[in-house]
Structure formats: C-alpha cells, structure tokens
C-alpha cells in the first residue's frame, strides 16, 4: 500500500469482487507519446484492459489495475487513447 489514496481504493475494489462473477468486458488502451522534436503522436504501448467490476454492474466499465474506465456495449472491444508526456 502506497501513501496515495488511489492504491487503497484499488485494493477495496478487488476485495469487493472477490468470489463474484466479474463483468470481464475488454478494451484496448493505446498509450501515445509525441515524437521528440515533432508534433507527431505515436502509439508507444498497447495495454489490454479487463473490467473488474461485478457482472451486470451499472455505468462504465473499469479496470482497477490500470485505473481506466470506459463505456462499451457487449461484444465490443473499444480502443481508448491516453497521451503521456515524456518528462524524462
């Protein structure tokens, strides 16, 4: 457990779904970054998300492990985009 509140919330979400049937809806997260010296964004990482909420939940799907949420219908695999600044 880290000092940030987010870590604690994620642990609680996992605890609530333990032993329950999970939603399991999937999405793909594309993490983009600007190429140094240009204004072009390229995909740097591709992350597969799985909804960790209980089956039949209301509202958006959530992947607590990756801190992402999305709206999607059954049978769809939406693609999300997240832009990361390169601070290094």
Q: Which residues bind Zn ion (CB under 5 A)?
A: 23, 25, 51, 53, 61
In three-state secondary structure terms, 53 is coil
Q: How far is the CB of 66 from Zn ion (least distance, A)?
A: 13
Nearer to Zn ion, 35 or 76 (CB): 76
CB of 77 to Zn ion, least distance (A): 12
d(CA 65, CA 6): 11
Tokens standing for 29?
């997260």
**Of 40 and 55, which CB lies nearer to Zn ion in the complex structure?**
55
User: Which residue lies nearer to Zn ion by CB, 34 or 80?
Assistant: 80
- CB of residue 17 to Zn ion, shortest distance in Å: 10
Rounded to whole angstroms, the Cα distance separating 35 from 45 reads 14
What residues pair up with 29 in beta bridges, in sequence order? 47, 80
């Amino acid at each position: 457990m880290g000092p940030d509140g987010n870590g604690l919330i994620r642990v609680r979400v996992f605890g609530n779904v333990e032993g329950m049937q999970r939603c399991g809806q999937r999405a793909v997260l594309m993490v983009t970054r600007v190429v140094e010296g240009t204004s072009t964004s390229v995909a740097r990482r591709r992350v597969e998300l799985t909804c960790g909420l209980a089956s039949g939940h209301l509202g958006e799907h959530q992947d607590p492990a990756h801190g992402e949420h999305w709206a999607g219908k059954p049978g769809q695999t939406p693609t999300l985009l997240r832009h990361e600044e390169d601070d290094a």
